[in-house]
Structure 1
């Protein structure tokens, strides 16, 4: 069971199967998945999309890692999106942070607020030395979030894909 966190405007709680419909609906927002080709491909088959999201929800991640649903404290617990802290590509050894928010919540600092809480947890509770984020070079919104959190660009592009740039942050 993952810890629940509260920030000024958000509640971050463990993502559960009850979040499935909200996650599927969010993924159908074209702009939300614009830089995530593996998800865009899944949208061609509702069954494959459901299976993919369900598998991610039901996966048992190492202790202290997983997905959190992001809810609004202001809008009566409305689903905003999710944030993850998991082994990269579900294998590791690096631990990645990632976020996906409904389009209506972009540009208001919610991703930064959620990521700041999860990074504090990653370094202070899970005792990680560093966390990475793979971001598409055209995804200006996610790049801005990484920059606000003081991630730095690594010299090389992620070995697994020519489409993402690896950002890193170290415990400091």
Structure 2
């Protein structure tokens, strides 16, 4: 069971199957998945397959992550617990040893500092409670919004990665 956090505007709680429909709807926002090729392919390509998309999201929700790691649903304290998105802290590619942070928010919530607010909370937890030495974030080089969030959180560029799913820049942050 993951710890629940409250910030000034947000509640971060463990993501559960009750969040499935909200996650699926958010992924259908084309701009939200623009830089996530594996999801974009399941939804917006000639190979699109809604059933495989559901299976993909369910698999992520049902995976058992190492102690203290996983996905948190981000809810609005201001808008009666409305689903904003999610944030993760998991072993990269579910293997590790590196631990990655990532976030996905509904388009309506971009640009208001919610990802940074959630990210600060999860990074503090990662370093102070889970006792990680560093956290990485793999971000598509054209994803200016996520790059800005990473920079605000204190991440710096580590290396470029050329994977079959696309090119990414690895950002890192070390224990504060």
- The alignment's TM-score, normalised by the length of structure 1, stands at 0.97
2:25 matches 1:21: no
Residue 38 of structure 2 is matched in structure 1 by 38
- Gapped regions of structure 1 (runs ≥ 5): none
Equivalent position of 1:122 in the other structure? 126
Superposed CA RMSD = 0.9
Deviation of 1:158 (Å) = 2.4
1:8 equivalent in structure 2: 8
The answer as to 2:66 corresponding to 1:62 is: yes
> Which residue of the partner structure matches residue 160 of structure 2?
157
Give unpaired runs (5+ residues) of structure 2. Answer: none
Please report how far the alpha carbon of residue 76 of structure 1 lies from its aligned counterpart in structure 2 after TM superposition: 0.1
Q: Which moved more, 1:162-171 or 1:66-75?
A: 162-171
- State the distance in 2 between where 1:12 and 1:158 align: 30
Deviations 1:23-82 (A, max 9, x none): 000000000000111110111111000000000001000000000000000000000000
Structure-1 separation of matches of 2:34 and 2:163:
19
Listed one character per residue, the Cα deviations across residues 121-167 of structure 1 (whole Å, up to 9, x for unaligned) are 0000000000000000000000000010110001x212545511000
The residue matched to 2:12 in structure 1 has which SS?
A: strand
Number of the residue aligned with 1:99: 103
